[in-house]
Amino acid sequence: MCDKCSDTMPDRLTPSRRSAMLLTAAALGTAFSGRAFAKETKAPPKPQNVLSPDAALKRLMEGNARYVDGVARRHDFKHEREALAGGQNPFAAVLSCADSRIAPEYAFDTGRGDLFVCRVAGNFAGTETIASLEYGVAVLNTPLILVLGHDACGAVEATLKAIKDNTSPPGHIPSLVDAITPAAKAAMQQGGEVLDKATRQNVIDNVAKLRSTAPILSAAVEQGKLKIAGGIYQLTTGTVELIAQG
C-alpha cells in the first residue's frame, strides 16, 4: 500500500462527526421512548382505577357527593406509598383553576394516585397542559378528563375588567387574559350575569378544545376510550355541577 493510500484510509473508515452525532441522537431517542412511553405490561398499582370513561365519571361524582355531605372516606396514605412508588394509573384527570379554595383531590374525596391534576388560573388548556393531559391518556391510560371551573373566578373576573377598561394587567398575567378573552367576550354579548356566563363558557370552550385536539385526545374520544366533560365548583357548598358532558 502506498503512503498516499495509507494516509487517507483512516479518514474513510472513521465516521464523520455529523454521523456520530446522528447515531448518538437516534440511540438516545430509542432509549427514551422505550423507557418513558412504552406501555407497561405489569399489573396496575391500583386495579380499582381501571374503569370505563362513564364509570370513572360516576365514581368522581360519588366522591363529590361524599365531600359535600362531610362523610369523606379515610384514606390510607401510608400503605399506598409502596404500591405507587413504581407507577400510577389515575382513573381521572382534572384541569382545574389554581385557586387555593379549589382542591380536586378533596372535592372528589380521592386518594393518592387517583387523580392526574393540572392546575392553572382560569382552568384553560395551554400547550403544556395539553401535553400533560396527552401523557395522562396515552401513557397512563386515564379514561376521563374533567375541566373544572368555579364560581367567582378571579382570573375570569380580571379578564372581563381588562376588556371593559381596555387595560392590560402587569407582568405575565396578560397571557391568562388572552386565553380567557374569547369566553369573556361571548358572555359580554349575552349580558346578564356576565361573570357566571363567562366562567361556564370558558369551561365549555376548553372541553371542546380538548376533544378536538389531535392526534391523541381526539382519537381516544372517537374510540370510546376517553370522555371529556366540564364542571363548575360552587364555593359555598362544594358541589360540582356537570356541564358539557357530551
- The verdict on 82 and 181 lying in the same domain is yes
Q: What's the total number of domains in the chain? A: 2
Mean residue pLDDT across the chain: 87
- The verdict on 7 and 78 lying in the same domain is no
CATH number at residue 82: 3.40.1050.10
Q: Is-contact 112 77, C-beta < 8 A? A: yes
pLDDT tens track for 105-144: 999 999 999 999 999 999 999 999 999 999 999 999 999 9
- The verdict on 132 and 206 lying in the same domain is yes
Residues 206/114/232/176 CA torsion (nearest 10 deg): -40
- The verdict on 1 and 56 lying in the same domain is no
- The verdict on 191 and 98 lying in the same domain is yes
- The verdict on 118 and 238 lying in the same domain is yes
- The verdict on 66 and 156 lying in the same domain is yes
What is the pLDDT confidence band of residue 44, given thresholds at 50, 70 and 90?
A: very high
Q: How far is CA 80 from the centre of its chain?
A: 23
**What are the E-state strand segments in the chain?**
92-96, 115-119, 144-150, 227-233, 240-243
- The verdict on 2 and 122 lying in the same domain is no
- The verdict on 33 and 68 lying in the same domain is no
pTM of the model: 0.83
pLDDT tens track for 60-106: 999 999 999 999 888 777 778 888 999 999 999 999 999 999 999 99
Q: Is the pLDDT of residue 26 over 60?
A: no
pLDDT: which is higher, 245 or 33:
245
- Sheet (strand 92-96) strand order: 115-119, 92-96, 144-150, 227-233, 240-243
- The verdict on 197 and 83 lying in the same domain is yes
To the nearest 5 percent, what fractions of the chain are helix, strand and coil? Answer: 50, 10, 35
Instruction: Confirm whether 52 is domain-assigned.
Output: yes
Q: Is the dihedral of CA 60, 114, 226, 100 positive or negative?
A: positive
Instruction: Confirm whether 8 is domain-assigned.
Output: yes
- The verdict on 136 and 30 lying in the same domain is no
What is the pLDDT confidence band of residue 214, given thresholds at 50, 70 and 90?
A: very high
* Domain extent for 26: 1-37
Instruction: Confirm whether 42 is domain-assigned.
Output: no
Phi, psi of 150 (to 5 degrees): -155, 155
pLDDT tens track for 143-196: 999 999 999 999 999 999 999 999 999 999 999 999 999 999 999 999 899 999
Instruction: Confirm whether 155 is domain-assigned.
Output: yes
Distances (CA, A) of 151 to 64, 154, 239: 16, 9, 11
